[in-house]
Amino acid sequence: MPKWFVALFAFLFGAAVGSFVNVCIYRLPRKLSIVKPPSHCPHCGTTLTAFDLVPLLSYLWLGGKCRYCKTPISPRYFLVELLTAMLFVAAVDRYSLSLEAVLVSISLAALVVIAFVDWEFFLVPDEAVWALGILGFFKHVILISNPHGILISLGGAVLGGTVIWLIGILGRLVFRKEAMGFGDVKIAAAVGAHLGATWLMLPFLLFSIFVGAVMGVLLALLQRRSLTGYIPFGPAMAIAATIVFLAPPSVINFVLQLYGISR
């Protein structure tokens, strides 16, 4: 199959999944069912038709407005569909057309849900965390030909959760305020189920701290939130996990070698 065809298929599939990601971002933190009722305009309540729900295109041809009440639709809907589509293309580029690419793609979609919900609501949706963790577990049991796959995956979940939990305790002692929430522990455990109790946890933690610090400084510069205030560590971990899932092995090995670890 030509590479461009695989990429196009991944893009279209990713955009469709991105549509569902948008539903999850809106409904999970509001404790609404993600299957019913069917999609409707949150402003006028009109049930949307297939014409209004074509990923990416509907937003463009409706000019970013509800077709019925003309209320502007957040550009986030378009951006999330585009982002998910691009992540799916990146996943088939990294893992080619394989079951692993599918598992990683859906995991990346779960990370998008986690990042956006945590960013906006400061809470971590359990459904998305469970989906992420279970997909990581399956990856080890089905795809990675190691008889101890189950233990490696469960060990990774325990390791990831424990490290973030300990960093949280340390942060509380040093800064005398809540540094990590339990939501952060859950995200780290779910990512850990993917990475396993392996050295891959190191680049994940390093990237998380780096991305978190960069986001904290940017937010302070933009004066959206003070530097001493809340740093969105959940979104930082989601971005770090995305990088580790998609980075070529050479990049990961380079980071490990900086710490004297060779695989």
The neighbour count for residue 45, using CB atoms within 10 Å, is 10
- Between helices 76-95 and 233-246, what is the axis angle to 10°? 30
Nearer to Zn ion, 75 or 248 (CB): 75
- Binding-site size for Zn ion (CB under 5 A) equals 6
Residue 64 sits in the site that holds Zn ion (CB under 5 A): no
Cβ(132)–Cβ(190) below 8 Å: yes
Q: Which of 7, 41, 86, 202 contacts Zn ion by CB under 5 A?
A: 41
Distance of closest approach, residue 64 Cβ to Zn ion, in angstroms: 12
Nearer to Zn ion, 37 or 260 (CB): 37
| Site pattern 68..97 for Zn ion (x: CB under 5 A) | xx----------------------------
Chain residues 109-148 in contact with Zn ion, contact rule CB under 5 A: none
Report the Cα 256 to chain-centroid distance in Å.
23
The residue range among 38-46, 89-97, 150-158, 219-227 that interacts with Zn ion, by the rule CB under 5 A, is 38-46
Nearer to Zn ion, 45 or 248 (CB): 45
Nearer to Zn ion, 34 or 69 (CB): 69
Residue 66 sits in the site that holds Zn ion (CB under 5 A): yes
Residue 44 sits in the site that holds Zn ion (CB under 5 A): yes
Residues in contact with Zn ion by CB under 5 A are: 41, 43-44, 66, 68-69
